[in-house]
């Protein structure tokens, strides 16, 4: 069940975040990217955006950022994979999920996984284009919360 988004009240002045976003299915990913960036900036954070060709390329850039930039407080990964007639989409989704989990454990930085594996464009429209349920905004809020949790440890 989708929950309705609300704007964050978190404050992270001067904290740095990165967003790695796929160019594939740009209509949907761009909307999530814009929502995520706006949410981080609203909280006072700064955002570095890196675009990659597709979902499969997201983890290598997330790993590179995690390894090279110790000032990052979180990496938000965005993409949309639509199922087709073969199991290729499932294979990509599984590979991306495993890789992103490994990156956050290896580097100790929150890696927010919003590379969505969806059945169809109707699901993408609701989760990516809707202001009420935009997963980009939700990803940014998760990154902000995780940055605060880690800072408190």
**Residue 40 is part of a domain; what is its CATH number?**
3.40.50.960
Kindly tell me if the per-residue pLDDT of 5 is higher than 80.
no
Q: Is 109 helix (H, G, I), strand (E, B) or coil?
A: coil
**Band of pLDDT at residue 132, cut at 50, 70 and 90:** confident
In a domain, 6, yes or no: no
In a domain, 1, yes or no: no
Segment 23-42, tens digit of pLDDT? 999 999 999 999 999 999 99
Segment 56-76, tens digit of pLDDT? 999 999 999 999 998 999 999
Q: Is 9 helix (H, G, I), strand (E, B) or coil?
A: coil
In a domain, 138, yes or no: yes
Burial of 119 (0-12, 13-18, 19+ CB in 10 A): exposed
**What pLDDT score does 14 carry?**
73
Tokens of 102: 């490994």
**What pLDDT score does 128 carry?**
93
Instruction: Enter the pTM of the model.
Output: 0.91
In a domain, 9, yes or no: no
Count: domains in the chain: 1
Kindly tell me if the per-residue pLDDT of 83 is higher than 90.
yes
In a domain, 5, yes or no: no
Separation between Cα atoms, residue 108 and residue 74, nearest integer Å: 10
**Band of pLDDT at residue 3, cut at 50, 70 and 90:** low
Separation between Cα atoms, residue 78 and residue 17, nearest integer Å: 13
In a domain, 116, yes or no: yes
As annotated, the active-site residues are: 88
Write out the residue range of the structural domain in which residue 95 sits.
16-152
Separation between Cα atoms, residue 22 and residue 71, nearest integer Å: 23
Specify the DSSP element, H or E, that contains 148: helix 135-152
In a domain, 8, yes or no: no
**What pLDDT score does 8 carry?**
56
């Amino acid at each position: 069940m989708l929950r309705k988004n609300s704007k964050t009240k978190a404050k992270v002045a001067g904290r740095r975040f990165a967003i790695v976003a796929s160019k594939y299915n740009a209509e949907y990913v761009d909307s999530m990217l814009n929502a995520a960036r706006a949410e981080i900036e609203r909280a006072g954070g700064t955002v570095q955006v890196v675009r990659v060709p597709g979902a499969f390329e997201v983890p290598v850039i997330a790993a590179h950022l995690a390894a090279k930039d110790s000032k990052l407080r979180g990496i938000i990964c965005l993409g949309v994979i639509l199922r087709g007639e073969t199991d290729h989409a499932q294979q990509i989704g599984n590979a991306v999920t495993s890789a992103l989990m490994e990156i956050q454990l290896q580097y100790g930085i929150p890696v927010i996984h919003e590379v969505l594996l969806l059945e169809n464009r109707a699901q993408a429209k609701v989760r990516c284009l809707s202001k009420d349920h935009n997963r980009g905004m939700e990803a940014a809020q998760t990154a902000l919360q995780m940055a605060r949790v880690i800072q408190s440890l």
